[in-house]
Structure 1
Amino acid sequence: MKVLFFNPQQEMLGLQCLSATLKAAGHQTALFNDPRLFDNPWVRIGRTDGASYVHDAGLAAVAAHSPDLIGFPVVSDDYGWARAWAARLKARCDIPIVFGNCHPTFHPREVLGRPEVDFVVRGEGELTLLELVEALGRGKDFSKILGLGYKDQGNVRINPMRPLIPDLDSLPFPDKDLHYGPMPYLNHGYITMLGRGCPYRCSFCDNNSSARLYAEHGLAKRWVRRRSPERAIAELLWARTRYCAGHFRFNDEDFGYDQRWLREFCALFKEKLGLRYFAWVSPNTIDAKTARLLAESGCDAVEMGIQSGSERMRTEVLHRRVSNRQMESAMRALREHGIRTDVDLILGLPTEAKADLDETVELLRRGRPWGTYAFWLQYYPSTEIYALAKERGLLPSGTAQARAAGIHREGDIPRDALARRYHAFITLLPLLPDAFIRLCQRWDLIRYCPAFFNTFLIAQLRRLLKGGVYNEFQVRGYHLLWRESGRFLAACFTRKSS
C-alpha cells in the first residue's frame, strides 16, 4: 500500500514517525510539501498571481505516486488549509483521505462531518494508521481499529481510544528522508524528540487537553514517557552517520524534568558525540547544577516558556506553579553557564491588566534573556483557558462563532492597543540597555512605544545584531525563502508569458 502525506511547510516529526512505522511494515510513503509562502504565521496575503503552481504541483504529486491513502497532519491552525486541499483533491480523484493530529483528536465528529474527509486518527497514530492502511488493503472493516474515526453508510463512527505506546524504544527511528527528499534545505541541524508527553498541566496547552482525554478513557497512567538514554544516543549516532548531523535540536516539552535520565543522557552524549545541541526547558527544573550539566554536555541554547511575569496570571489563569524568583534564577543560571536563553510569553490573556504587563517587563529586565518571543493567545475549544474565558464571559467578540465555524488563526482575536505597545517593547527588550528600560518603567513610557513595529522583523533584526550560536530554524528559513521564492517567480513569469 502507498500513502502520500501533504505537508504544511515545516518539518513534521509526527509524519516521520508514521512513515517509519509504515515502511517497517513494508508499505510505501511519499510527501508533497506546500510551502505556504503567503499563508503562514508571519505572512498572510490571500490569493496571489502565480500561487496556483502549488495546486498544480500537488495534483501532479497525486498522479505520480498513485497513493491508496492521502494523509494530512492537522493542528487547529492548519484545519482550513487541510480542508481546502482535501476538497480540491476529492473533486479530482476518489482516494480516501485521513486527518490526524490535534484537531481531529479533539473534534472527530466535526472533522468527519466534512464530505472530503473519510477517516480521522486520534492520539498517537503509528499503530492506528498502520492498521487502517492494512484494512484498506485487505478490504476489512474498521470497527476494531482503536483510535480511528470513520464513516459507515453516512454515519460517523468513533472507535475507542488506543492506549499510549508504553515502550518508545520499540519504535523505529523517524523517517527523515520523507522530508529531506522534497525539502533538502531541512538537512541543517537534526530535530527529534526523545520522549512524549508533558509533566505540566497548563490551561492553554493541548498537552493538558490530551492528558485529560486519555484520562477520561482510563489510559493516562504513563502520559510522560522517555526513550532510554542508550536508544536516544543510538538515533543521534545514526543521524550523524547518515545525514552528517552536526547540531541537534531536542523538542521534548521539558528536557530536564527527569534528572536521573538527564544525567545519564548528558554523560553518554558528551562521550559518544561531543557536539552542540538545543533543548526546550522549564524554569521549574533549571538550577545552577542542571545548567552546568547541560552546558558541559554541549547545550548551547535553550528556549523556556514563562508566559507571563505576573504570578497572579500564571496561578489563576495559566495554571503554572512557579515563582518569579525561580524564573529569574533559572535565566541567570543558564546565562552564567554560557547557554543562550530565549523565553516565550503569551499576551492577550483573559483578565490581563497593565499591572500584569509591567510585572512581565520587570521579570525580563531582571532575568535578561538572550531573546524574547511574545505570542498572542489563541483560544482553542479543547483547552481549559477557553472554557475559563467562556464561563466568565471574557471571550473576544466573534471568537466562539469563528471557532465553531472551524476558523483557527490569530487574526480573529482583537488586540488591545496598549497590549500591542507592550508586545513591541517586550520584543525589543533584549536589545535595550538596563538604564533605558528602568527609565521607561519609571516614567511609564512603554505606553508610547510604537505599536506598528512588525515584531517578526524585530526578532530577525535582533538575531542579526546579537549574532550568537547556530540556529537551524533561521538557516532553514533562509533556504526555504530562496528556493520557494524562485519557484513562485518562475511560475508568475511562465503564467504571464503564456
Structure 2
Amino acid sequence: MLSMKVLFAHLGREHLGVEYLSAALKRQGHETALALDPGLFGINDNVFHNARLERRFDQTRRVLRALEEQRPDLAAFTVYTSTFPWALRMAREFKRRSPRTPIVFGGLHPTFEPERTLRCRDADFIIRGEGEGALCDLAHALEHGTDPREIPNLGFRADDDSPALNPLRPLIGNLDDLPFPDKGLFERDINFRDDYIVLCSRGCPHRCSYCCENALHRLHGPGWYRRRSAESVLLELEEMKARYRFREVMFNDPILLTHRGWLEELLEGYRRRIRVPFRCFGQPALMTDAMALLLKHSGCQCVEFGMQTVNEDLKRETLGRPETNEQALNAFRICDRHGLPFDIDHMFGLPGECAADHARALDFYKPLRRLNRIKTHQLVYFPGTAITAEAAE
C-alpha cells in the first residue's frame, strides 16, 4: 500500500487543529512530520514582543532545513491572518527548493480570504472550513495520481488561472468518530507534563462579533457547535496522562460551562479518573453558586471570563455580548465567595471607547478578591467576522 508523507509547517505554539489533521492522516496510513517555528518574541507571542529578540531567535533556517530534509510528498500550512506573511515566505522558499512538491494552506485565513490566498500563487491548494476530510482526500488523490479538483472544501487555480472554490462538505456529525489528537507531533517541542490542552467541542454557542467562531457559524450554519461525549474526553485524558504524566489540564473550549448535565458527567469522571488541577473558560451569565462549587470540587484552579469592556452599550451593540455588568459582577462575587480564582479578558481599541471606559473598568475590577490577573487584548479586525464587515460598510 502506498502512503504519503505530509509535513506540517507551523508558526506558533502547539496547535490542536494540526494534531487532529495529523491523526486523521495517520489513520489513513500516511506519515506525518512537523517543521515548527515557535515565533519567539514575534507578533504572535502573547507574552512579549520584541523585534530585536525576534530576529535573534528567528527559526526560518530550521523550518526550511526540515522542509528540505524530510522530502515530503505534500507540505501543509495552517494559516491565521497574522501568520499569513510567514506562510507565504516559507512556501515561496520551499517551492524554490522543491518545485514539484505541492503545498496546501488551511485554517482561518484561507477559509475567509480564499480568492486572495490563491492569487498569491504560493499555495497550490487551499482548504476551507473543517479540514480532516479534505486533507485526507487530497493526500489520497495525490498518492494515486487522480484529479483532486472535485474534492469538497478544496480551492485551487482553474485552467484560466482564476481561483476556483468547491462547495463545503457536511460537518463531522459525531466528534467521537475522530481519532485523538496526535500529540506526538509536538512532543519534541512542547512539555506536555506541565500543561495538557484538550478540546471537548467545536464551535461556540455565542455570537461575539469580533470572534472567528461567529464567522465559522455563519459559514457552516447552526450545526457548527458540537460536543464530544464526556466519555470520549475522559478516555483521551486517561491515555495521555499515562503517556505524559501531566500535572495540569487546560480545557480549551471557548466556554466549558454550557450544558450542565454534560458538564456534571464530565467533571464527576474527571474527579475519579484524572485527578489533576484544570483551567477553563467561562461565561459570566452561566456562573452560579452550584456551578462554582462543582468546578472547585472537581479541581478547577482558574476560570477565565471574557469581560472585554464595562461599557454596556458598546458591549451589546458592537461586540454582540448581551450580558450586563450586574451579571458579570454577580459571577465574580460568586467566585470570591467560594474561593475560586478567575482571570478577566479586557479589550482595547474598541470603536467608540474612551479613556473613561478603562478608568471605570479599573474601578470595577479593583474590589474583586479572587481576581488572578487581567489579560489585555487589542481588538483585531479579522476577515469574516461581523465587526469587520460592519467596519467596512
TM-score (norm 2): 0.93
Distance 1:354 1:246 in 2: 41
Distance 1:229 1:59 in 2: 40
SS for the counterpart of 2:39 is coil
Structure 1 position 358, deviation (Å):
3.2
Contact kept? 1:123, 1:162, Cα under 8 Å: no
Distance 2:301 2:53 in 1: 41
Equivalent position of 2:25 in the other structure: 22
**Residue identity matched to 1:15:** V
Change (3 A) 1:24 1:315: same
Structure 1 position 243, deviation (Å):
1.2
Distance 2:93 2:262 in 1: 47
**Residue identity matched to 2:70:** H
Deviates more, 1:200-209 or 1:152-161: 152-161
Contact kept? 1:313, 1:356, Cα under 8 Å: no
Change (3 A) 1:198 1:184: closer
Distance 1:268 1:197 in 2: 23
| Alignment of structure 1 residues 254-333 onto 2, 5 Å | 254-333=255-334
Contact kept? 1:248, 1:277, Cα under 8 Å: yes
**Residue identity matched to 2:381:** Y
**Residue identity matched to 1:11:** E
Contact kept? 1:342, 1:371, Cα under 8 Å: yes
Distance 2:216 2:28 in 1: 28
Structure 1 position 152, deviation (Å):
2.9
Equivalent position of 1:165 in the other structure: 172
Equivalent position of 1:128 in the other structure: 134
- Looking at CA atoms only, which structure, 1 or 2, has the larger radius of gyration? 1
Contact kept? 1:283, 1:322, Cα under 8 Å: yes
The reply on whether 1:139 has 2:145 as its aligned counterpart is yes
SS for the counterpart of 1:91 is helix
Structure 1 position 338, deviation (Å):
2.6
Distance 2:334 2:344 in 1: 14
SS for the counterpart of 2:235 is helix
Structure 1 position 57, deviation (Å):
2.1
Change (3 A) 1:162 1:44: farther
Structure 1 position 186, deviation (Å):
4.5
Contact kept? 1:329, 1:367, Cα under 8 Å: no
TM-score (norm 1): 0.74
RMSD: 1.7
Equivalent position of 2:378 in the other structure: 376
Change (3 A) 1:103 1:337: same
SS for the counterpart of 2:215 is helix
**Residue identity matched to 2:87:** A
Distance 2:348 2:382 in 1: 15
Distance 1:323 1:306 in 2: 10
**Residue identity matched to 1:312:** D
The reply on whether 1:90 has 2:95 as its aligned counterpart is yes
Distance 2:326 2:57 in 1: 50
Distance 2:383 2:17 in 1: 23
| Alignment of structure 1 residues 228-267 onto 2, 5 Å | 228-267=229-268
Distance 1:202 1:67 in 2: 39
Unaligned runs of 5+ in 2: none
Contact kept? 1:309, 1:362, Cα under 8 Å: no
Deviates more, 1:374-383 or 1:229-238: 374-383
SS for the counterpart of 1:238 is helix
| Alignment of structure 1 residues 92-107 onto 2, 5 Å | 92-94=97-99, 95-107=101-113
Structure 1 position 279, deviation (Å):
0.6
Deviates more, 1:352-361 or 1:262-271: 352-361
SS for the counterpart of 2:23 is helix
The structure 2 residue matched to 1:13, chosen from 9, 12, 16, is 16
Contact kept? 1:342, 1:370, Cα under 8 Å: yes
**Residue identity matched to 2:170:** P
Contact kept? 2:107, 2:128, Cα under 8 Å: yes
Distance 2:284 2:67 in 1: 46
The structure 2 residue matched to 1:386, chosen from 375, 388, 391, is 388
Q: Over residues 40-72 of structure 1, what are the superposed CA-to-partner deviations in whole Å (9 max), with x where a residue is unaligned?
A: 3432416977656x3332232123211011111
| Alignment of structure 1 residues 414-425 onto 2, 5 Å | none
Contact kept? 1:6, 1:32, Cα under 8 Å: yes
Distance 2:312 2:42 in 1: 35
Structure 1 position 329, deviation (Å):
1.3
**Higher helix proportion, which one?**
1
Q: Over residues 281-303 of structure 1, what are the superposed CA-to-partner deviations in whole Å (9 max), with x where a residue is unaligned?
A: 11121111111111111111121
**Residue identity matched to 1:122:** R
Distance 2:55 2:179 in 1: 42
Q: Over residues 71-101 of structure 1, what are the superposed CA-to-partner deviations in whole Å (9 max), with x where a residue is unaligned?
A: 1111111111111111111121121111111
**Residue identity matched to 1:374:** T
Distance 2:342 2:358 in 1: 21
Contact kept? 1:309, 1:361, Cα under 8 Å: no
Q: Over residues 258-294 of structure 1, what are the superposed CA-to-partner deviations in whole Å (9 max), with x where a residue is unaligned?
A: 1111111111111222221111111121111111111
Structure 1 position 4, deviation (Å):
0.5
Distance 1:109 1:48 in 2: 31
Structure 1 position 35, deviation (Å):
2.6
Equivalent position of 1:108 in the other structure: 114
Distance 1:318 1:337 in 2: 30
**Residue identity matched to 2:144:** R
**Residue identity matched to 1:265:** L
Distance 2:321 2:50 in 1: 32
**Residue identity matched to 1:296:** H
Distance 1:339 1:239 in 2: 27
Distance 1:338 1:90 in 2: 55
Change (3 A) 1:136 1:348: same
Contact kept? 1:32, 1:58, Cα under 8 Å: yes
Distance 1:107 1:174 in 2: 27
Q: Over residues 145-204 of structure 1, what are the superposed CA-to-partner deviations in whole Å (9 max), with x where a residue is unaligned?
A: 1111112332321000122111000011000000002x0435421111011110111111
Change (3 A) 1:114 1:333: same
| Alignment of structure 1 residues 34-49 onto 2, 5 Å | 34-40=37-43, 41=45, 42-45=48-51
The structure 2 residue matched to 1:56, chosen from 45, 56, 61, is 61
**Residue identity matched to 2:110:** P
